[in-house]
Amino acid sequence: MPRLAVLIVAAGKGERAGLGLPKQYQLLAGHPMLRRTVQAFADQKCHVQVVIGQGQHALAQAALQGLELPEPVTGGATRQESVRLGLAALAKDAPDFVLIHDAARPLISAKVIGEVIRALENGADGALPMVAASDTLRRRGDDGRWTLVPREDLYRAQTPQGFVYAKIAAAHRAHADNEVTDDVALAELAGMKVEMVEGEEKNIKVTRKEDFALAEKLMANDQTSGDVRTATGYDVHKFTDGDHIWLCGVKLAHSHGLEGHSDADVGLHAITDALLGCIGEGDIGQHFPPTNERWRGVASWNFLDHAASLVREKGGVISHVDVTLICERPKVGPHRGAMREKIAEILRIELSRVSVKATTTEGLGFTGRREGIAAQAIATVKL
């Protein structure tokens, strides 16, 4: 079986995204984009080498924490130079084939990866995934006038671009002074036989700030990428002496406090249990035992943040959370917006994915007698 390596090129500054950090380290549905791109190749039996920019080691280490990868290679001033340095790093244990992929294409599918590899196994020197141009195209001339460009036979190139390793490495060395836009262009300069394979529209290159929102929507709508899991959570705390309570991360003045080992935030506790249930990780008491003094009085957002981190570690995306607070007092309505914002902040998801509701029991039961507060939550996670 041919030995395969994947070169993830993540050395750019990502300035067009206008997000401060280089775009490959920005969060995409709760994970750094670079991490999501690397994990897209997790099912391939291959060696993954990441190429990063000068001074990006700390960012890369944080983004790739927990993944079994070799030390990232520091790239050069151009993408072409970064690829050449990455290929050189693979020379010690040279693979048969190498796939060169942009870190800014996190939605690459196993289908496209498989097509590229099959083309190489069938004898091609290189393989290029492409998508036919579907938009009307126009070219602006030197005189400022626009002319129509026929879109027939026009295609958009994507990555990963796959090659016979020895040939593309030699091409990079021989044509280091030739400036090219991608590795296929350099391969063609070297006379390599490159075949086209079918790409996918969803394999977008995340370049601008708005592309992050589009990528997240594509991830959420892709029903082939994993399981959709739903779980519930329920919690109760009784009233005790005090002058305030915490509900869904918001401090509210009240005639009583809530009794609990932590800050007794019944809303966040219910959401925490729902998220843990989605990934089969037990309940809040297993992770934060009430017998452990370490958690006495701790703010409950720490528990919810922990559950969200576990979801992300498993490659999950939190699609939606909904919590219903059951009590006669205090009135939740005036604070609903602040509660939603706090939950969204803790979970690192869009506000539209958070719902907070409230109801009473019409004077019935312990909540009706104003002896305490209950909360029930439901969470949906895509794995």
List Cα–Cα distances, 150 to 71, 93, 196, 268, 340, in angstroms: 46, 46, 20, 57, 50
Q: Is the pLDDT of residue 14 over 70?
A: no
Report the alpha-carbon angle 12-15-16, nearest 5: 115
Q: How far is Cα 73 from Cα 76, in angstroms, rounded to an integer?
A: 10
Q: How far is Cα 120 from Cα 197, in angstroms, rounded to an integer?
A: 11
Is 241 in the same domain as 259?
yes
Asked whether the beta carbons of 139 and 162 are under 8 A apart, the reply is no
CATH number of domain containing 270: 3.30.1330.50
- Span 349-360, average pLDDT: 93
Is 111 in the same domain as 204?
yes
Domain count, the chain: 2
Is 191 in the same domain as 339?
no
Is 131 in the same domain as 209?
yes
Is 18 in the same domain as 34?
yes
The pLDDT-based confidence of 332 (bands split at 50, 70, 90) is: very high
Question: Which of 181, 204, 221 corresponds to the end of one domain?
Answer: 221
Is 164 in the same domain as 312?
no
Q: How far is Cα 185 from Cα 180, in angstroms, rounded to an integer?
A: 6
Is 208 in the same domain as 260?
no
Q: How far is Cα 330 from Cα 258, in angstroms, rounded to an integer?
A: 12
Pairing of strands 146-149, 194-198: unpaired
Full-model pTM:
0.63
Is 311 in the same domain as 199?
no
Is 102 in the same domain as 123?
yes
Is 349 in the same domain as 215?
no
Per-residue pLDDT, 228: 87
Is 257 in the same domain as 194?
no
List, for residues 201-247, the tens digit of each pLDDT value: 999 999 988 899 898 888 877 644 567 899 999 999 999 999 999 99
Pairing of strands 155-157, 73-74: unpaired
Residue 224, number of CB atoms within 10 A of its CB: 7
List, for residues 49-61, the tens digit of each pLDDT value: 999 999 999 999 9
- Spell out where 241-382 has E strands: 244-247, 250-253, 257-258, 317-326, 354-359, 372-382
Question: Which of 170, 190, 221 corresponds to the end of one domain?
Answer: 221
List, for residues 289-320, the tens digit of each pLDDT value: 988 889 998 999 999 999 998 988 787 889 89
Domain that residue 377 falls in: 228-382
The pLDDT-based confidence of 15 (bands split at 50, 70, 90) is: low
